[in-house]
């Protein structure tokens, strides 16, 4: 499983310094397995409206996609999905950075 990239509250900006190791791991894996297509899924915490969070989750996924393209990964291999509020988190955790993430998976 590839590492997740986390986001600040209400942000779609990839912190390339803070997550350099994670981003490099993702880029290296995609270059090593050059025939594998992936889905980039964005999530949000549970604050805000569903409509807003759906759009924010897409923007986060697009930001990671654009980073990967900038690192030489073909756009044709990358699909984007905005999942909105993270269904895997509940209670207090649903309001933390753990919910505000992007995952890259086959």
Q: Show the domains of the chain with their CATH numbers.
A: 5-105 (3.30.1330.60)
Q: How far is CA 64 from the centre of its chain?
A: 6
Give me the pLDDT at residue 94, please: 79
Q: What is the pLDDT of residues 23-69, one digit of tens each?
A: 999 999 999 999 999 999 999 999 999 999 999 999 999 999 999 99
CA neighbor of 46 nearest in space, from 3, 81, 98: 98
32-65: string of b/e by CB count within 10 Å (b at 16+)? eeeeeebebbbbbbbebeeeebbbbbbbbbbbbb
Q: How confident is the model at residue 87 (pLDDT cuts 50, 70, 90)?
A: confident
| pLDDT > 70: percent of the chain | 100
Residue 86 binned pLDDT confidence (cut-offs 50, 70, 90): confident
């Amino acid at each position: 499983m590839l590492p997740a990239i986390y986001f600040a509250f209400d942000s779609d900006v990839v912190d390339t310094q803070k997550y350099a190791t994670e981003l490099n791991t993702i880029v290296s894996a995609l270059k090593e397995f050059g025939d594998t297509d992936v889905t980039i899924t964005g999530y949000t915490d549970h604050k805000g409206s569903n409509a807003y969070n759906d759009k924010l989750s897409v923007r986060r996924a697009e930001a990671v996609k654009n980073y990967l393209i900038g690192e030489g990964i073909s756009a044709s291999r990358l699909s984007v999905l905005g999942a909105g509020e993270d269904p895997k988190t509940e209670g207090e955790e649903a309001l933390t950075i753990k919910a505000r993430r992007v995952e890259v998976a086959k």
